[in-house]
Amino acid sequence: MIKVYGIKNCDTMKQAMRWLTDQGMVWEFVDYRKAGVAAANLPDWNVRAGWGKLLNTRGLTWKKLSAEERAAVDEEKALGLMVQYPSLIKRPVLDTGEKLLVGFNPEIYAEQLT
């Protein structure tokens, strides 16, 4: 089963979940703000997708960070920030078990999932 990680009230999440449903795919939503979800999954996601792809530097959470927190971000710092602030993880993170897709792009979903 496809696991869709993210924040339920996010518009991008809603688009991705609607696309999956429209394609007749079976999926399960997991809120990655719940205790431990981000911390437990980030090491695997980092290996499979890379911290640079996972870190959302365009969102409001990133913009609200202090200049010190945003400065000199490397892998260790990025992973720590994403554990501390799970909304810094780009949405959605879709895990098929074999593939990990970060962000929503209908063309990439169609290519990778159908």
Active site residues: 10
Q: In this structure, what token pair is assigned to residue 16? A: 């991705």
80 burial class (0-12, 13-18, 19+ CB within 10 angstroms)?
middle
Look-up of token digits 């399960």? 28
Under 8 Å between Cβ of 11 and 17: no
59: left (phi over 0), alpha (psi -120 to 50) or beta: beta
